[in-house]
Homo-oligomer: A and B are copies of this chain.
């Protein structure tokens, strides 16, 4: 297949591109490098010293000479139209959105920037698909955070409703918890509409929190004697308050001897999936596209954990590597339920063959083990881990 990966310089986009190339697909990577700029904006950096985009691209081309790279801003409808016209892809993976809740909560400018960036980029893609490749499969990254934490089970996308004696199949109501999460809900509604009126096909991934740094492709591609991973092919690992997930922050904190800091009571429960398994899922979705006009939703995660459980797992795995870590529950900067029911479905990807390979502890062992060599880089940004962006008035 010919696949465009939007956001190909990102945490998921780069290893996904590598994986698709290694499976023999033709890949066009697109990015405007804005993630790099935005992490600098908040005074931080990736714990892993990811390569310059030129070096990354050259490293991929050594093994996959057909790999193409385009520097482009997805907010520009003319540019987006052009790549669809030029490349006429079989599928497009849209990872090119602003993915941070705290970034969107900083102020009105960051709220608007996040929502406009995400909505406009997705709309531009939908219109370009309609015009040039109406058969193309849009694989779009949403988030499990679209659902929030309702007091009932969470189906995959939509559900059968019985109300006052009548029935219909409707979108499951969303309760997003930040301006960023809201933007993903807006995308969801926009994509549903485009599939309905134009017959486009799309898979909307409600993804859990992804963790891990290393994938087999980075090892397999290695040409450096005595090392397991080609350092040019590693992906980013953000750990600051704005761009790092809770689990990433906990790993970073353990490594530099900082207390591990769950927000609030720590009962906030979410779905989690290892990076390599996320890539496995996206590849399965690409190789099993939906029908014409079909909009389908996959809840893409492996296991559920509360934030306190995450902290305990990090303490345990770090301890096994001789790192002593302590937990300190701090005031929650977010407005969210800290104790709640949580029971989301995740059957659809398993039906298509998804088999999780790395559970939390196993992946954490690799992540912490790999990350320890970058202790100095984490230490350098130690003051960017504790939360300053607040949700409340």
Binding site for B on A (CB under 8 A): 77, 81, 107-109, 111-112, 115-116, 119-120, 123-124, 127, 130, 134, 150-153, 159, 161-164, 166-168, 170-179, 182, 185-186, 189-190, 193, 196-199, 335, 341, 391-393
CB pairs A–B below 8 angstroms (6 shown): A152-B161, A152-B163, A162-B162, A171-B175, A173-B173, A182-B193
Give the distance to chain B from A339, nearest Cβ to Cβ, in Å. Answer: 15
* Residues on B with beta carbons closer than 8 Å to the beta carbon of A119: 112, 115-116, 119, 186
Do residues A151 and B123 form an inter-chain contact, with CB atoms below 8 A?
no
Number of copies: 2
* B197 and A168 contacting across the interface, CB-CB below 8 Å: no
Please, how many angstroms separate the alpha-carbon atoms of A164 and B119 in the complex?
A: 33
Partner of A77, one of B112, B167, B172: B112
Taken together as a complex, chains A and B put the C-alpha atoms of A124 and B170 apart, in Å, by 31
CB pair B182 A189 closer than 8 Å: yes
Give the distance in Å from the alpha carbon of A177 to the alpha carbon of B194 in the complex: 10
In the complex, what distance in Å separates the CA atom of A196 from the CA atom of B392?
Answer: 9
Are A168 and B152 neighbours in the complex by a CB distance under 8 Å? yes
Q: Which residues of B contact A341 (CB under 8 A)?
A: 166
A130 neighbours in B (Cβ, 8 Å): 393
Q: Which residues does chain B contribute within 8 Å of A159, judged by CB atoms? A: 163
**Which one of B108, B189, B199 contacts A185 once the chains associate, using CB atoms below 8 Å?**
B189
> Contact: B196 with A170, CB < 8 Å?
no
Contact across chains for B174 and A171 when beta carbons are under 8 A apart: yes
CB-contact partner of A189 in B111, B167, B186, under 8 A: B186
Q: Is the CB of B108 within 8 A of A116?
A: no
A151 touches B167 (CB 8 A): yes
Is the Cβ of A164 less than 8 Å from the Cβ of B176? Answer: no
- If A171-B175, A189-B176 touch, whether A120 touches B116 (CB-CB below 8 Å) is yes
Select from chain B the residue with minimum beta-carbon distance to A171.
Answer: B173
Q: A167-B152, A170-B173, A393-B198 are in contact. Are A127 and B115 (CB under 8 A)?
A: no
Complex Cα–Cα for A108 and B126 (A): 9
Closest 8 CB pairs of A and B: A170-B173, A108-B127, A151-B168, A198-B393, A197-B335, A152-B166, A186-B186, A152-B163
Q: Which residues of B contact A164 (CB under 8 A)?
A: 152-153
Q: Are A197 and B392 in contact (CB under 8 A)?
A: yes
Closest residue of B by beta carbon distance from A336 = B197
User: How far, in angstroms, from A171 to B199 measured CA to CA in the complex?
Assistant: 27
Shortest CB-to-CB span from A281 to chain B, Å, is 25
Of chain B, the residue at the smallest CB distance from A173 is: B170
Neighbouring B residues of A179 by C-beta, 8 Å: 123, 190, 193
**A167 vs B119: C-alpha distance when bound (angstroms):** 32
Q: Which chain B residues border A153 with CB–CB below 8 Å?
A: 163-164, 166
The reply to whether A123 and B108 form a contact with Cβ atoms under 8 Å apart is yes
Task: State whether B172 touches A173 (Cβ < 8 A).
Answer: yes
Known contacts A161-B173, A177-B193; 4 further A-B pairs (Cβ under 8 A): A108-B124, A116-B119, A186-B189, A199-B393
Q: In the complex, how many angstroms separate the beta carbon of A24 from the nearest chain B beta carbon?
A: 31
* Bound form: Cα–Cα A153–B167 in Å: 10
B168 with A150: CB separation less than 8 A: yes
Closest to A80 in B: B108
